[in-house]
């Protein structure tokens, strides 16, 4: 299997989209710089999507300065569980999952062990977010709390340790490629391929999972549970594709990766929009993006200049 996979990768080298070409032939002409905050700032993205009636997680509180400690106190009094996120970070950095038990609060950070936390400790983390500790491009950020989503039962077996999400590449209003990202014990609950999550290609027509990749190698079974990864049907697939296009349209960006999860109660919900989507989706699908995007050799020559 590994040998055939490597042969497929060699074939992909001719049709796969590279980072330089992505930046020069797609992002530069398709996503004007002044529109990039529509995707880079999660709170701004959520506002745009909500205005367009696109389903997003409910925002419970926004923290912008040290004066907002009272908002945290009210949040802890009124909510049993929630997620704290930076508005402008990437790769899952700075995210805390907070649950309330009978004696107080504990944090579950991306699937890791539970750690008890006082309001002061939670506020210390929020202040780090505001000070820009998880945002490399800006000196300050905003923190926010939003509802905690639960994975759809159909996907829970593929990602038992963390919330799975579906990445759909949308190019000028058309979905061109999709994958399901699943958490593992190795990734500490993160559905991120670079952290050790699993990427599963998805057939755009019927929403069925196809090939799996884990730590840059082909995989047929979940490394933690042994569950087969291919042939799984993604629920509400047509709705998910429509939601991805609506999210891309709401941000006015023409080349994006839209991340969607399926909540057990609410159904498909947009988590975020990425104006510089990663290219590992091609490996998960064992197919290149260049032909799907209509890129020619002329574009390749321009990217090398």
SS3 annotation, 47-64: HHHHHCCCCCCCEEEEEC
CATH architecture of 2-56+150-304: 2-Layer Sandwich (3.30)
What span, in angstroms and rounded, lies between the C-alpha atoms of 219 and 212? 5
* pLDDT recorded at residue 90: 80
DSSP character for 214? E
- Per-residue model confidence as pLDDT tens for the chain (305 residues): 545 554 454 545 568 888 888 888 888 889 999 999 999 999 999 999 999 999 999 999 999 998 999 999 999 999 999 999 999 988 788 899 998 877 677 777 655 567 888 889 899 999 999 999 988 777 899 999 999 999 999 999 999 988 999 999 999 999 999 999 999 999 888 888 988 999 999 999 999 999 999 998 899 999 999 999 999 999 999 999 999 999 999 999 999 999 999 999 999 999 999 999 988 899 999 999 988 988 744 444 444 44
* pLDDT recorded at residue 12: 58
Element (H, E) at 76: helix 69-78
* pLDDT recorded at residue 110: 55
* 16-61 tens-digit pLDDT: 888 888 888 888 889 999 999 999 999 999 999 999 999 999 999 9
Between CA 148 and CA 159, with CA 153 as vertex, the angle to 5 degrees is: 75
3-state helix/strand/coil string of 79-103: CCEEEEEECCCCCCCCCEEEEECCC
* pLDDT recorded at residue 182: 95
Going by C-alpha positions, the residue among 268, 183, 287 that lies closest to residue 225 is 183
Spell out the domain ranges in the chain. Answer: 2-56+150-304, 59-146
Exposure string of 119-154, with b = 16+ CB inside 10 Å and e = fewer, is eeebbebbbebbebebbeeeeebbbbbbbbbebbee
Going by C-alpha positions, the residue among 88, 288, 279, 96 that lies closest to residue 193 is 279
* pLDDT recorded at residue 114: 75
Q: pTM above the 0.75 mark?
A: yes
Within 10 A of 166 (CB to CB), how many other CB atoms are there?
26
């Amino acid at each position: 299997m590994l040998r055939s996979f490597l042969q497929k990768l060699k074939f992909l080298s001719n049709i796969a989209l590279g980072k330089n070409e992505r930046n020069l032939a797609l992002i530069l002409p398709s996503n004007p710089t002044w529109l990039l905050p529509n995707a880079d700032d999660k709170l701004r993205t959520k506002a745009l999507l909500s205005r367009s009636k696109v389903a997003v997680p409910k925002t419970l509180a926004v923290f912008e300065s040290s004066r907002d400690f009272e908002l945290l106190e009210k949040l802890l009094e009124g909510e049993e569980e929630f997620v704290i996120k930076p508005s402008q970070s990437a790769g899952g950095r700075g995210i805390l999952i907070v649950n309330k038990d009978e004696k107080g609060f504990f944090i579950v950070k991306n699937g890791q062990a539970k750690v008890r936390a006082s309001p002061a400790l939670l506020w210390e983390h929020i202040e780090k977010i505001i000070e820009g500790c998880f945002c490399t491009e800006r000196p300050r950020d905003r923190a926010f709390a939003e509802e905690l989503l639960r994975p759809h039962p159909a996907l829970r077996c593929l990602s038992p340790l963390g919330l799975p999400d579906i990445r759909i590449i949308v190019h000028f209003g058309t979905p061109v490629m999709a994958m399901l990202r699943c958490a593992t014990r190795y990734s500490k609950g993160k559905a991120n391929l670079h952290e050790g999550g699993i990427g599963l290609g998805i057939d755009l027509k019927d929403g069925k999972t196809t090939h799996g990749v884990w730590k840059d190698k082909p995989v047929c079974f979940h490394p933690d549970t042994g569950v087969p990864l291919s042939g799984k049907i993604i629920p509400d697939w047509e709705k998910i594709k429509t939601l991805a296009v609506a999210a891309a349209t709401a941000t006015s960006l023409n080349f994006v990766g839209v991340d969607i999860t399926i909540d057990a109660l609410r159904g498909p919900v947009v988590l975020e929009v990425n104006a510089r989507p990663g290219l590992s989706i091609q490996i998960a699908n064992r197919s290149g993006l260049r032909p799907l995007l209509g890129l020619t050799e002329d574009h390749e020559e321009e990217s090398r200049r």
